[in-house]
A and B are shown apart, each in its own frame.
Chain A
Amino acid sequence: MLGGAGDPAEHTLSIRERLNRLDLEELRGRARDAELELYSFGITFTVYTQKDVIDRILPFDVIPRVISAQAWKTIQSGVIQRVAALNLFLHDIYHQQKILKDGVVPKDLVLGNKNYCPQMEGIDVPCGTYVHINGTDLVRGDDGQFVVLEDNGRCPSGVSYVVENRHLMLRSFPDLMSNIGIRPVSNYGQKLHEALVETAPAGVGEPQVVLLSPGTYNSAYFEHIFLAREMGVPLVEGSDLVVENDKVYMKTINGLDPVHVIYRRIGDDFLDPEVFNPDSVLGAAGLMRAYAKGNVSLANAIGTGVADDKAVYAYIPRIIKYYLDEDPILANVETHICREPEGLAYTLANLNKLVVKPVGESGGYGITIGPRASKEELEKCRAEVTADPANYIAQPMVNLSVCPTLTDDGIKARHVDLRPFAVTGKSTWVLPGGLSRVALTKGSIVVNSSQGGGSKDTWVLE
């Protein structure tokens, strides 16, 4: 809730006043109630140990993050612009590949990418929508501007927490929230369903949408339940689907019922054992045939991973310019591509100032934070980058902005990021809010739930 110069932001004044009326004990009491509710509801993600399956809640911080209407306007238009460019890029690389021929993006970076899917070449997807659901990870730098840290154009998760956190806040802090003018988030499921119906195969009267989940043992299973329920569609597993005559059906108590749109929450590799990983039992054999014939729609499309790749990310500002002839509304974090000689040279010369990330990993694994690394860690990183430069990018350390957060030591500043969610059918809609993840450990900038991060309710003001 701090403005650019470290002073409290103007737009949060009335909320701060209301918060001040609650003492620390009161806040802690309400935080405990909220956590208990999360456990009872089973709003959890699943962690595996060698012996057990453990349901954990995502730690929830009761002090909301507030975003002004003006800041949101920029985020919203920036995200819409970015999604438009991603979709045009994906269509192009699976068709004419103009952008590669024009040399804007290196050919081998795309065609040699492990997420590039040759099976998608020449396939037309309804509305040209490849990325139906997009999560853009944003951080706020020293100058107070939001910049893009990462695109998530495959199966971005976390939206269920956005909606559930809001419900939780409404129950725990009704006194804090009345008459503030917070934009609602509870219509996400409806908007998602509308977009999925819009991208159904042509000529289907009432498209049957399903959500395809890997099953109850998946760490995001709660989110799958949430989304299926919000949309009022069946949550299916691979074993529920069958492909006959290149059409997809689900097994019901009265035989086979047609399926037209699949919001899949499993990776490309597992979708169809006929084409991809032959050992997969999570998908359905023949799905790709049905997809190629246009008998079923998949959200997100197959092969979108090539666009949210950390290596392609560096080119997104140029991709936006190329297809839309516009300047990016949201800037990238400055990124050095180690596969390019100058990027590699710069990275190796400035290791102690940079955050080095492997391009193939997710969830914050394998990252070296230069300014905080020991000599040994830096040397190890140097050896890894030198051995396989194409696998790394490097960025200056972004000094993530902080938000007041309830901790054991009272209310303290903790680093946050923001993942707004965009839904695209014929057009793009951005959920006003998003997942604010917070690094609960003092000084930490790692906000991932798998590494001890928590979340906050995010209020976008009217």
Chain B
Amino acid sequence: MHRLLSRYAEAIYWLARYVERAENLARLLDVNETFSRDSRGWQNWRSILQINRDEERFFENHEEADADSVIYFYTLDQRNISSIISAVNAARSNARTLRPLISTEMWIQLNMFSNNLKSMQREDLSEPRLARFCNQVKEACQTHTGITEGTFYRDESWFFYQIGRAIERADQTTRLLDVKYHLLLPNNETVGSPLDVSQWNAVLRSAAGYHAFRRVQPSGMTQADVAGFLLFHSRFPRSVRACVHDISNRLNHLRSTYRLIGGATALDELDELHSLLDDITIDQVIDKGLHEFVDWVQLKLIRINAELGAAYFGYPALNQEGQAAD
């Protein structure tokens, strides 16, 4: 048996990341739409641009950051590389590269998903229909995940797929928390208010975590409860800690089963992140600042991505500071 080509490993890793990203973008828009029903709705749509540092790119093509234009920007705008349609196109394009490797079912579903999105119009996004649009995207992404689970051959490429999906999922969960943080900078009056609780509820639901949360905690809901659950709960598949644990396991397995030489530095990074997530409590996080914490986690994930790239995909090696060397 021949070894997996670096280019294939990279493509399957990114295929998983892009599908996961599309799904989470849909979740993010969905939850934001819920937030935007309050009096500060106009502000909410602008803050999504701020979190993603997209303001500059947005105003290149749009005049005003109202609901309609921001939603379009993040869904069907092909000029925006971080829109849902761009993520799905990127996934399809990787799938096209991978057609000798992936199952026919995986290819057909992604091909049709991307064709469906291309045929959609701006009218399909108007406010009453946004939830339906987001649901369609989520469902298509989950269909992809299911088909992959059910048909994809289990070799090295399967592990790269899983690692890609987990790293993106961890990243996106931190973003979801960050949205809430930015949208409602909690002050003493609003923390614990009915509005605050209903919005944390929405965050949980958008991570498909409400029922899981209720099984852990049958009643009550505070910022710390929800943030703690999404960051640390080891048995919730979208929590940051569960994802990081997953990445470590897969990477270890990949290295031992297939006797790969590279990847030790990525594992070191993962261990560091992992042990911090094990040790720190949600109260400590909130004391230090939730935003600062998730920011640090995101940087760590970026670094892990680069280490994996250097070890397996032929990316330039990293220097001590984590910068790509020339």
Binding site for B on A (CB under 8 A): 40-42, 208, 216, 221, 225, 228-229, 233-237, 239-240, 250-255, 257
Contacts and interface: CB of A to CB of B under 8 A. Distances in A.
30 contacts: A40-B111, A41-B104, A41-B107, A42-B96, A42-B99, A216-B93, A225-B99, A229-B99, A234-B2, A234-B8, A236-B5, A237-B7, A239-B7, A240-B7, A250-B2, A250-B5, A251-B5, A251-B7, A252-B2, A252-B3, A252-B5, A253-B5, A253-B6, A253-B9, A253-B156, A253-B262, A254-B3, A254-B258, A254-B262, A255-B261
A213 B158 CA distance: 24
A254 B261 CA distance: 6
B281 interface: no
A234 B259 contact: no
A253 B266 CA distance: 14
Given A229-B100, A239-B7, A252-B6, 17 more contacts: A40-B112, A208-B2, A216-B93, A216-B96, A225-B99, A228-B100, A229-B99, A234-B8, A234-B100, A250-B5, A251-B6, A251-B7, A251-B314, A253-B3, A253-B156, A253-B260, A257-B3
Interface in B3-34: 3-9
B312 interface: yes
SS class of chain A's interface: helix, strand, loop or mixed? Answer: mixed
SS class of chain B's interface: helix, strand, loop or mixed? Answer: helix
Interface of B: 2-9, 93, 96-97, 99-100, 104, 107-108, 111-112, 156, 160, 258-262, 312-314
B177 to A, nearest CB: 33
Contacts of B260: 253-254
Contacts of A251: 5-7, 314
Contacts of A233: 2
A237 B7 CA distance: 9
A229 B104 CA distance: 11
B309 to A, nearest CB: 11
Contact of A253 (B97, B111, B312): B312
Nearest to A211: B100
A42 B110 CA distance: 11
A253 B93 CA distance: 21
A176 to B, nearest CB: 24
Q: List the 8 closest A-B pairs by CB distance, nearest first.
A: A252-B3, A228-B100, A225-B99, A253-B312, A235-B100, A251-B6, A229-B100, A253-B9
B2 A257 contact: yes
Contacts of A239: 7
Nearest to B109: A40
Which of A40, A208, A257 has most B Cβ within 10 Å?
Answer: A40
A40 B160 CA distance: 26
Contacts of B97: 216
Contacts of B5: 234, 236, 240, 250-253
Contacts of B262: 253-254
Contacts of B4: 252-253
A227 to B, nearest CB: 9
A42 B107 contact: yes
Contacts of A40: 108, 111-112
A254 B156 CA distance: 11
A110 B97 CA distance: 39
A200 to B, nearest CB: 14
Contacts of B156: 253
B162 to A, nearest CB: 15
A229 B8 CA distance: 14
A214 to B, nearest CB: 13
Contacts of A234: 2, 5, 8, 100
Contacts of A41: 104, 107-108
A411 to B, nearest CB: 31
B57 to A, nearest CB: 22
Contacts of B312: 253
Nearest to A230: B100
B7 A225 contact: no
Nearest to A225: B99
A255 B111 CA distance: 32
Contacts of B261: 254-255
A252 B260 CA distance: 10
Which of B3, B100, B260 has most A Cβ within 10 Å?
Answer: B100
B259 A254 contact: yes
